[in-house]
A = this chain, B = another copy of it.
Amino acid sequence: MKSTDFARLYSDVVDQLSDYTEMKQQGFFHECHNSDQIPSAQALREIRDLCRALIFPGFYGRPDVNCHTLKYTIGVEVERLYTLLVKQIAASLSFTCKTGVTAIQYKQKAEGIATHIVESLPLLRRTLETDVRAAYNGDPAATDISEVISCYPVIKTLINYRVAHELYLQQVPLLPRMLTEMAHNETGIDIHPAASIGHHFTIDHGTGVVIGATCIIGNNVKLYQGVTLGARSFPLDEEGHPIKGIARHPILEDDVIVYSNATILGRITIGKGAVIGGNIWVTEDVPPGAHIVQYRTPNPS
C-alpha cells in the first residue's frame, strides 16, 4: 500500500516539475519535436567502437578478422560509421541551432562532414600508430605492442580525441565534446577537442590529465598522470561572463616531457625538449632544453 502522504503530494510535485516556462527561458529545458534531433549516447558509443575497430582491426571490433575477411568487415563498418555519423552530426547541428534551418539542410551538411571524417580515417590511423609507438617506447613495463593497443588508456583516449578534433575542425557542436567526455569518463584523461596535438604523443597512466581547449602540443611530447595544461585566468566581458575564444592555455613544443601532477597554466611556451618535474606549478615560459623540478624535498625531520 502506498503511503497516504505520497498520494497527497504526488500531483503537486508533478505540477511543479512540469512547469517549465521559466526553465525554458533560461535554457534549462530542452524541448524538441523530433527524437532524431538529439545526439544519442548509444549511437556515440557505437561510433567510438567502430572507430576503434577501423583503426586497429583485430584488437577492437570483431576479434577473428583475418586476411580473407578484413575487407568485407571494413566495408560494413565504414558504411555503418558513415550512417551513424550523418545522423549524429545532423542531430548536433539541430540541437544547438536557434534559427529555422530545415532538417534536410542539416542532413546535407552532415553528409558532407561525415564524408570528410571517413576520408580522414587512413591518416588518423597513421597518426595513431605513432602514438602507439611512442607509448611502447616510453614504458619499460610494456611487454608487447599488443598490450599497448589493447590495454593502455592513452590509446583509447587518443582515438576519441583525434576523431573529435576532426569533428571540431568541421565546426560540429556538442558531438566532439561528448566524444572526449566519453573517454574522460573511461580513462580519467580530459582532452578538449579543440586542443591541437602532434604525432608520437603519449600519456603514461593518465588519470587526472587535463588538456585545455587552446593548447598547442608539438610532436613527440610525453605527459604523466595528473598533469594539467590549464588557463590561469581569463578576461570577463561587461556582464561578468568569460570572453570566449582567447588563447589561454600553454604551448608545448616538440620533445617536451611533463612529470606527474605538474600544473602548467596560461598562454606560456614550454620550449623544445624541456622537462618539467612533477607536482609543480608553472606559470611562466620555460626555455628550450630546460629542466625544472619542485623545490628540493626538505630533509626528513
Contact = CB atoms under 8 A, between A and B. Distances in A.
Nearest to A63: B38
B226 A261 contact: yes
Given A28-B56, A96-B146, A242-B138, A279 B263 contact: yes
Contacts of A286: 300
A10 B79 contact: yes
Interface residues of A, number: 144
A27 B66 CA distance: 14
B186 A1 contact: no
A101 interface: no
Interface in A1-34: 1-3, 5-7, 9-11, 13-18, 20, 23, 26-34
A112 B4 CA distance: 9
Given A35-B63, A274-B300, 13 more contacts: A10-B118, A31-B70, A32-B66, A137-B240, A138-B242, A140-B243, A141-B212, A147-B174, A147-B177, A224-B228, A263-B278, A263-B279, A292-B300
Interface string A59-103: 100011111111111111011001100000000000110000000
Contact of A64 (B32, B67, B72, B181): B32
A185 B184 contact: no
B300 A290 contact: yes
Interface string A208-250: 1010110000000000111010110010000011111110100
A277 interface: yes
Count of this chain's copies in the oligomeric assembly: 6
Contacts of A299: 292
Interface centre among A16, A144, A151 (most CB of B within 10 A): A151
B75 A79 contact: no
Nearest to A58: B30
B79 A31 contact: no
Interface centre among A190, A263, A277, A284 (most CB of B within 10 A): A263
B212 A260 contact: no
6 closest A-B pairs by beta carbon, nearest first, are A72-B75, A30-B58, A290-B300, A3-B111, A35-B64, A140-B242
